[in-house]
Amino acid sequence: MKQPQENVPLSFAGIIGQDKAKKLLHRAVEQDRLAHALLFKGPMGVGKKTLAKTFAAALNGQRPQGHEPCGQCPSCRKFRSGSHPDFIIIEPEGAAIKINQVRELKKTLAFPPFEAKIRVALLCDIHTMRREAANSLLKTLEEPPSQTMLILTADEAGGILPTILSRCQTVPFFPLPQAEVAKILAQEAGIELESAATLAAMAEGSLGRARLILAKDLLGLRQQIVDHLLRLEPNTPTAIQALGELAESAAKLKEDLGELLELLTTWLHDLLLFGHGAAGSIINLDLIPTFPAACRRWSSGQLSEKLRLMDTARKQLARNCNPTAVCEVLFFGLL
Ligand SMILES: [Zn+2]
């Protein structure tokens, strides 16, 4: 998912949360012991890329204000507009960064930077990288060319290869305070603070995920799926057709399908909580009116089984199985 550039601040103060990461980077600069390879590790959508860009701008600015980039010099302006020739962003092509992308990067890095004091290559979502591509990066990570820093980003949940981990200094990122996320969402999207707070909870304090849920109207599709699951009779032609159509809609989300599955997973968790009388921890507050009927329809044993099906679907998608087929099997299992 691309973040709208105009919303991206070019100052540490403008980035919410992540005090630990900021402090760690600033201290490393002050003490002149900045590693050549950094791993920004934490949940998606909490500011890893934004912080990387701000840090790169600060390292290269001509009139730094303390730790902050000045925001005015030619270098800062290029960082802001995304046109700095020495800030290289490598994002996954499809599911992961491919070996060809790493080879291209190595070719570029063999030449000196165009104008930067410190050139920064940002490699995103490194946890999805296959062993072959990762191995071709190891030498560069260990000994980057002069005036070059590599910043890698990864989800905390992701399986990062130990050979990559051991060559980077890890900078930890955390979920954002949900109240802060809600405030920003309410402002950006012009929605009620209450809906924004629900959304922030669904996104588990990830501004990026919350924006994605809004932009792709994932709540609308979640609502449709839940409605159908609550009223369709299993093994009827109507059910087969309706769930088939929903599976097609879901598959059209492509790389964002995982986020829809996350939402359905929190819904199932909510039903288990509701069934056990723990309504205080429920996340999908807007669906509460449908919970009594859902808990009459499915026992907690059945709900646990459905959670296992969600997990299976996620694993199948990670292995590049056909998304429509995966969703069809999943939705029939959820019914
Ligand atoms: Zn500047």
Q: Quick: pLDDT tens for 177-229.
A: 999 999 999 999 999 998 999 999 999 999 999 999 999 999 999 999 999 99
Cα 116 to ligand 1 centroid, rounded to whole Å: 12
CA 185 to CA 211: how far, in whole Å? Answer: 8
Cα 66 to ligand 1 centroid, rounded to whole Å: 11
> Is 51 in contact with 40 (CB distance < 8 Å)?
yes
241 CB burial (10 A radius; 0-12, 13-18, 19+): exposed
> Is 28 in contact with 151 (CB distance < 8 Å)?
no
Which pLDDT score is estimated for 262?
A: 95
Most confident of 123-127, 128-132, 160-164: 123-127
Compute the C-alpha angle 186/176/24, nearest 5°: 140
Which pLDDT score is estimated for 8?
A: 63
Instruction: Give residue 318's pLDDT band: very low, low, confident or very high (50, 70, 90).
Output: confident
H helix intervals, the chain: 19-30, 48-60, 74-81, 99-109, 131-142, 162-165, 178-189, 193-202, 207-215, 218-231, 237-251, 257-275, 291-297, 300-318, 323-334
Cα 39 to ligand 1 centroid, rounded to whole Å: 25
Cα 54 to ligand 1 centroid, rounded to whole Å: 10
Cα 59 to ligand 1 centroid, rounded to whole Å: 9
Cα 6 to ligand 1 centroid, rounded to whole Å: 18
pLDDT higher than 50, residue 78: yes
Cα 70 to ligand 1 centroid, rounded to whole Å: 4
Cα 58 to ligand 1 centroid, rounded to whole Å: 7
Compute the C-alpha angle 264/267/268, nearest 5°: 90
Cα 63 to ligand 1 centroid, rounded to whole Å: 5
**Greatest CA separation for the chain:** 69
Cα 79 to ligand 1 centroid, rounded to whole Å: 9
What is the Cα Rg of the chain in Å? 22
pLDDT higher than 90, residue 287: yes
Average pLDDT over residues 6-24: 87
Cα 105 to ligand 1 centroid, rounded to whole Å: 26
**Which of 208, 44, 209 has the alpha carbon at shortest distance from 126?**
44
**What sign for the dihedral angle of Cα 71, 77, 81, 84?**
negative
Instruction: Give residue 158's pLDDT band: very low, low, confident or very high (50, 70, 90).
Output: low
Cα 218 to ligand 1 centroid, rounded to whole Å: 39
Cα 86 to ligand 1 centroid, rounded to whole Å: 15
Cα 117 to ligand 1 centroid, rounded to whole Å: 12
SS (H, E, C) 177-242: CHHHHHHHHHHHHCCCHHHHHHHHHHCCCCHHHHHHHHHCCHHHHHHHHHHHHHHCCCCCHHHHHH
Cα 10 to ligand 1 centroid, rounded to whole Å: 10
CA 21 to CA 48: how far, in whole Å? Answer: 9
In the CATH scheme, what is the homologous superfamily, with its name and number, of domain 5-172? Answer: P-loop containing nucleotide triphosphate hydrolases (3.40.50.300)
Cα 52 to ligand 1 centroid, rounded to whole Å: 15
Q: What percent of the chain has pLDDT over 70?
A: 97
Cα 72 to ligand 1 centroid, rounded to whole Å: 5
pTM of the model: 0.84
Cα 68 to ligand 1 centroid, rounded to whole Å: 9
Cα 146 to ligand 1 centroid, rounded to whole Å: 22
Cα 118 to ligand 1 centroid, rounded to whole Å: 14
**Which of 159, 179, 206, 188 has the alpha carbon at shortest distance from 48?**
206
Query: What rounded mean pLDDT belongs to the chain?
Result: 93
**What sign for the dihedral angle of Cα 168, 172, 175, 180?**
negative
**Angle (deg, nearest 10), helices 218-231 and 237-251:** 160
Q: Count of residues for the chain?
A: 335
- Sequence letter at residue 30: E
Cα 101 to ligand 1 centroid, rounded to whole Å: 30
Cα 113 to ligand 1 centroid, rounded to whole Å: 18
* DSSP structure class, residue 65: B
Q: In what order do the strands lie in the sheet with 37-41?
A: 87-90, 119-123, 148-154, 37-41, 169-172
Cα 316 to ligand 1 centroid, rounded to whole Å: 46
Cα 254 to ligand 1 centroid, rounded to whole Å: 38
At residue 128, the 3 state secondary structure works out as: helix
